[in-house]
Chain A
Amino acid sequence: MSQILDRARARVLADGVGLDQAEILEILRLPDEALPELLQLAHDVRIKWCGPEVEVEGIISLKTGGCPEDCHFCSQSGLFSSPVRAIWLDIPSLVEAAKQTAATGATEFCIVAAVRGPDKRLMEQMRAGVKAIKEAVDIQVAASLGMLTQEQVDELVEMGVHRYNHNLETCQSHFPNVVTTHSWEERWSTLKMVRESGMEVCCGGILGLGESIEQRAEFAAQLAELDPHEVPLNFLNPRPGTPLGDQPVVEGKDALRAIAAFRLAMPKTILRYAGGREITLGDLGTREGLLGGINAVIVGNYLTTLGRPATADLELLQDLKMPVKSLSATF
């Protein structure tokens, strides 16, 4: 039995205190033989500190493509020769998507736009869209619209957006290799404003962007310092035409090790399986992740790619006897 797992058991499981960067790195370096024990510990930590419920969310792209930023993994940047074209979703279709999401039992609906930050048109669309959703559907609305001004933060609060997603994407030391049109620190400052506004902070990133194992540990530690309400964990699905289009996908075992490590770094956060799980881990991966620290999923499709059908995830949750978190539990 490895020492780091004993230490994690004593501190993270017993006291709910996350591992530090050096310890996270030890976890990420554990041999394959230790993986079952690691996943079991991460699962025990999740059950003890978060409970058996799983938070289910649907996401929708309100404005797709044509983004002026250059995040090297993103098919929606207008700066690469990606086949994704710019398109806006109309409000009736937005409401319909929220209805479909609610019908799966999901409690979260996140509206996403491919922008550096919102302009007047996007804020107007948001205002109309959130109002229309709230009138028609019983679901909590989250948003992900890039970097915000204080005014925009206040406006979103007033619209009733309860959670804001803004991913740091990767650790501070690797960020300049992945994005050059804005800085990690700019993202951090939006996150601070969101935190102070009272909205829940949702912040995660993508693994497999060419970061080292040390940088993966750095990222988990930086997220733990931010202490977000939710951490969405994506695995790179290399997109044709982007600078990272030929990047190898994260190995399944490394992905599971990372999930467990992030859980041990942040015992109490909502750790959500986001994009790329189907590519990295295949069909079985969802089950393994849910038994290794994950306690939230995005169901159905993503923004520009498709996921497995919501029913497959919901059946799995039933199978695992993990109840879907209900709206009454989230208020």
Chain B
Amino acid sequence: MFCDRCGLPAAEGAHAECAAARELEPPRYCPDCRRRMKVQVVPTGWTASCVEHGTRKG
């Protein structure tokens, strides 16, 4: 529902640039509620947590 890079509604505006940037960035916004997530990057991956919607990994 929300772009996980810029936090704006995924259905509005263009997010192609966000998608391209996301290849070298972890997500920052929860796609379900657009809260800023707590993101930890480690050498081989990342985890991103929303208080409401739990933790995602990549």
Interface pair A83/B29, CB less than 8 Å apart: yes
Whether a CB of chain B sits under 8 angstroms from the CB of A97 is: yes
- Complex interface: chain A residues within 8 A of B43 (CB): 58-60, 97, 100-101, 104, 299-301, 310
- Complex interface: chain B residues within 8 A of A89 (CB): 40, 42
Interface pair B39/A87, CB less than 8 Å apart: yes
276-316 of chain A: CB within 8 A of chain B: 278-279, 299-307, 310
Interface pair B46/A83, CB less than 8 Å apart: no
Q: How does the 8 Å CB contact mask read for B22-43 relative to A, with 1 for contact and 0 for none?
A: 0111101100000011111111
- Complex interface: chain A residues within 8 A of B26 (CB): 304-306
- Complex interface: chain A residues within 8 A of B39 (CB): 64, 84-85, 87, 304
Residue on A with the closest CB to B21?
A240
Interface pair B28/A84, CB less than 8 Å apart: yes
User: In which size bucket is the chain A interface?
Assistant: 20 to 34
- Complex interface: chain B residues within 8 A of A301 (CB): 41-46
- Complex interface: chain B residues within 8 A of A304 (CB): 25-26, 39, 41
Whether a CB of chain B sits under 8 angstroms from the CB of A40 is: no
Interface pair A278/B24, CB less than 8 Å apart: yes
Whether a CB of chain B sits under 8 angstroms from the CB of A61 is: yes
Please list the residues of chain B having a beta carbon within 8 angstroms of any beta carbon in chain A.
6-7, 23-26, 28-29, 36-46
Whether a CB of chain B sits under 8 angstroms from the CB of A93 is: yes
Sample (13) of A-B pairs whose CB atoms are under 8 Å apart: A61-B40, A61-B41, A64-B39, A64-B40, A64-B41, A83-B28, A93-B42, A299-B43, A300-B43, A300-B44, A302-B41, A305-B25, A306-B23
Q: Looking at the assembled complex, report how far the CB atom of B26 sits from the nearest CB atom of chain A, in whole angstroms.
A: 7
A303 to B24, CA, bound (A): 12
51-79 of chain A: CB within 8 A of chain B: 58-61, 64
Interface pair A310/B44, CB less than 8 Å apart: yes
A298 to B41, CA, bound (A): 14
Q: Looking at the assembled complex, report how far the CB atom of A222 sits from the nearest CB atom of chain B, in whole angstroms.
A: 30
A237 to B44, CA, bound (A): 20
The 9 A-B pairs at the shortest CB distance, nearest first, are namely A300-B43, A83-B28, A58-B43, A97-B42, A87-B38, A306-B24, A100-B44, A301-B41, A85-B38
Residue on A with the closest CB to B18?
A240
